[in-house]
Structure 1
Amino acid sequence: MKFFEDIKKDFNTMIWVLIPVAIAINIVMGQIVVILKLPIYLDSIGTVLVAVIGGPWAGALTGALSNTIWGLLIDPNALPWWPVAFFIGLVAGFCAKGGLFKTWWKVLIAGFLIALTAAIVSTPIAVYIYGGITASGSSFITAYLLQTGQGVFQSVFSTNFLVEPVDKISTSLLAFAIIQGL
């Protein structure tokens, strides 16, 4: 019962109002990145924002809904990534509960932990669903690594380990700055 009570604590009226706004932020930023073929993602700013303000379960729901809605309405390539977005929200929320969104230097640690989680969860999706080459601009790095003789799993994970820290630390710092401005 305590588990479900903890989940329920993440959700209040403010969070229910913030979730659709955060989903819109995620989709708009993510779609801009896809169109421009940038080697980062920026599609989890809203997820991290909700996770830090509301908690891990609110963040996880925001992430999962973002990719599901984005995938069903705009870009089907976004749909398989919902587990990554779910875990980004979950880890960001637990980092916030652990005090890692109190100062900018702690946010760097949180961003790295979120990035590591995203790299671990996204690698099998990229490999088994897309054969390693996705719609993301970071696939140029993966393609290069494949040409150097690395295997597909190693190439994708190496790319994710290079790109995710830049993306998730930037995302976490941006969410932190927004919250500090509230």
Structure 2
Amino acid sequence: MKLIDSIKKDFNTMTLVLIPVAIAINVVIGQIVVLLRLPVYLDSIGTVLVGAICGPWAGALTGTLSNIIWGLLIDPNAFPWFPVALFIGFVSGWCAHFGLFRTWWGVVITGFLVAITAAIVSTPIAVYLYGGITASGSSFITAFLLQTGRDLVSAVLSTNFLVEPVDKIATALLAYAIIRGLSRRYLMRFPRAENVMPKQA
């Protein structure tokens, strides 16, 4: 019963309004990064935002839907990564629940924890579905490591541990900047607003 109540708490009218906006942010920025072949992703800003102010279940749903919609409508290569996006939203939400979205350094810790999770979840997908070489610019790092004699799993995992912390910390800080730009009155309309309120406020 507590689990059901926890899930229900994440979803109010404001959550349902924010999720489509967050999905659009993820897809647009993510597609730009793919087209530019940048060695980062930046496709989870909306997911982290929803996770922080609406909760882990809403964050997980936002991440999942982002990649499914992106994959079905624009880039089929985005679809298989939906489990990674799910965990990004879920971990972000729980980090905010424990107060890590109240300060910039807590947000950095959140980004790092999300990065470790994303690296672990994404490695099997990259290895078994794509042979380690994906559409991301980070594949150049994987290719280089393979040339140095690393095995495929080691090369992909090493690439992920190099790229993910930079990407997810930047993603979390951008989401934090958006939150800080919102008025307290507006924030309080979201179900988990207390998770991002500074202690002194």
For 1:132 and 1:169, how far apart are their aligned partners in 2?
A: 23
Q: Which has the larger radius of gyration?
A: 2
Question: What's the counterpart of residue 101 of structure 1?
Answer: 101
RMSD over aligned Cα atoms? 0.4
Aligned to 2:141: 141
In structure 2, the partner of 1:154 is 154
Asked if 1:52 is matched to 2:58, the reply is no
Distance in 1 between the 2:125 and 2:105 partners? 31
Counterpart of 2:88? Answer: 88
- 1:115 and 2:115 matched: yes
CA distance in 2, matches of 1:120, 1:8: 29
Q: How far does residue 2 in structure 1 lie from its aligned partner after superposition?
A: 1.0
- Per the TM alignment, residue 160 of structure 1 is displaced from its structure 2 partner at its CA by 0.4
Question: What is the alpha-carbon distance in structure 1 between the residues aligned to residue 106 and residue 48 of structure 2?
Answer: 15
Structure 2: runs of 5+ lacking an equivalent = 183-201
CA deviations over 1:29-85 (Å, ceiling 9, x no partner): 000000000000000000000000100000000000000000000000000000000
Q: Could you tell me which amino acid in structure 2 is paired with residue 66 of structure 1? A: S
Aligned-pair distance for 1:134?
0.3
Residue number in structure 2 paired with 1:34 = 34
The residue number in structure 1 matching 2:188 is none
Partner amino acid for 1:126? A
| 1:5 corresponds to | 5
* 2-structure distance, mates of 1:19, 1:27: 12
CA distance in 2, matches of 1:151, 1:69: 33
Q: Displacement, 1:24?
A: 0.3
CA distance in 2, matches of 1:56, 1:85: 12
The letter of the residue matching 2:90 is L
Where 1:178 maps in the other structure, the secondary structure is helix
Distance, in Å, in 2 between the alignment partners of 1:2 and 1:46 is 27
Q: Which amino acid aligns with 2:124?
A: P
TM-score scaled to structure 2, two decimals? 0.90
Q: Percent identity?
A: 76
Partners of 1:17 and 1:152 in 2: how far apart?
42
Whole-angstrom CA distance in 2 between matches of 1:161 and 1:85? 16
In 1, Cα distance between the equivalents of 2:106 and 2:3?
A: 27
- Indicate yes or no: 2:126 matched with 1:126: yes
Distance of 2:37 and 2:68 partners within structure 1 = 21
Give unpaired runs (5+ residues) of structure 1.
none
Aligned position for 1:164: 164
Runs of 4+ in structure 1 displaced over 6 angstroms? none
TM-score (norm 1): 0.99
Task: Tell me the distance in 1 between the aligned counterparts of 2:82 and 2:134.
Answer: 15
Counterpart amino acid of residue 36 in structure 1: L
Shift of 1:3: 0.6
